[in-house]
Amino acid sequence: MKLRVNALEYLVDPPAERLLVDLLREDLHLTGTKRGCDDGSCGACTVLVDGAPQHSCLTLARLVSGRDVTTIEGVSPGRLSRLQRSLVETGGLQCGFCTPGMIIAALALLQRGTPSRDDILEAISGNFCRCTGYAKIVQAIERAAQEEGGR
């Protein structure tokens, strides 16, 4: 199958049961996408598939054939995006395990325009953070939204 990951084309032949998270981490060596719960409840494995957030631990790799996948490595290669800088500046990260999935979920929201606080809370509701209490994450997303859609 052919797919695009972070704007690069790949030709792969995964087994039928191969999950997207495993294809990304083990076959393509893109380890920013985290494997957390394996049941879609933590959001650490969130990637964009054709611009929409999706839990890669619940997605069979073959289902993304011919599609565009964006992982945290593809968000802003070689530099921090505005959203990433905002998370650092506001202290919106601690251990960092949830951060890639949180950024991907927030990025999908920011690409649609300037969100309300409720929009932000809804967008990250599928991402579990054990460290920060979410207040600074929400503040960082709001701050990034005010500056060029988080990019």
Mind listing the pLDDT tens digit of every residue in the chain (151 residues)?
Answer: 999 999 999 999 999 999 999 999 999 999 999 999 999 999 999 999 999 999 999 999 999 999 999 999 999 998 999 999 999 999 999 999 999 999 999 999 999 989 999 999 999 999 999 888 899 999 999 999 998 644 4
Give every CB contact of residue 43 below 8 A, 6+ residues apart in sequence. 36, 55, 98, 101, 102, 105, 124, 126, 127, 128
Contact 69, 28 (CB under 8 A): no
| Beta-carbon count within 10 A of 7 CB | 10
The Cα–Cα gap between 32 and 143 comes to 24
pLDDT reported for residue 149: 47
| Beta-carbon count within 10 A of 113 CB | 9
Q: Domains of the chain by range and CATH? A: 2-71 (3.10.20.30), 82-150 (1.10.150.120)
Tell me the pTM. 0.92
Contact 36, 26 (CB under 8 A): no
